[in-house]
Amino acid sequence: MHWPVVAYGELDSTNMEAQRRIANGQLEATWIRAERQTTGRGRSGRSWQSLDGNLLISLLLPLDCPPSVLHHLSLISGLALNNAIAACSADKRMSLSPRLKWPNDVLIDEAKVAGILVESSIVGNRAIAIIGFGVNLQAAPQLADRNTTSLAAHGLTLRPEDFLTYLDAHLAKTISAWDDGRDFPRIRQSWLNNSFPLDHPIAINTTQGRVQGTFAGLDEDGALLIRTSNGKIELFHFGDVAVGGEAATSANGETRTT
Give how far the C-alpha of residue 222 lies from the chain's centroid of Cα atoms, to the nearest Å.
14
- Whether the pTM exceeds 0.95: the reply is no
- In tens digits, what is the pLDDT along the chain, a chain of 258 residues? 899 999 999 999 999 999 999 999 988 999 999 999 998 765 545 656 678 999 999 999 999 999 999 999 999 999 999 999 999 999 999 989 999 999 999 999 999 999 999 999 999 889 999 999 999 999 999 887 789 999 999 999 999 999 999 999 999 999 999 999 999 999 999 999 999 999 999 999 998 899 999 999 999 999 999 999 899 999 999 999 999 877 765 434 344 432
Strands (E), the chain: 5-11, 30-37, 55-63, 99-101, 105-108, 111-123, 126-135, 201-206, 209-218, 224-227, 233-236, 240-243, 255-256
* Residue 208: how many other CB atoms lie within 10 Å: 9
Tell me if the bond preceding 103 is cis, omega within 30° of 0.
yes
Give how far the C-alpha of residue 201 lies from the chain's centroid of Cα atoms, to the nearest Å.
20
CA dist 158 → 4, 34, 47, 107, 154 (Å): 20, 16, 24, 17, 12
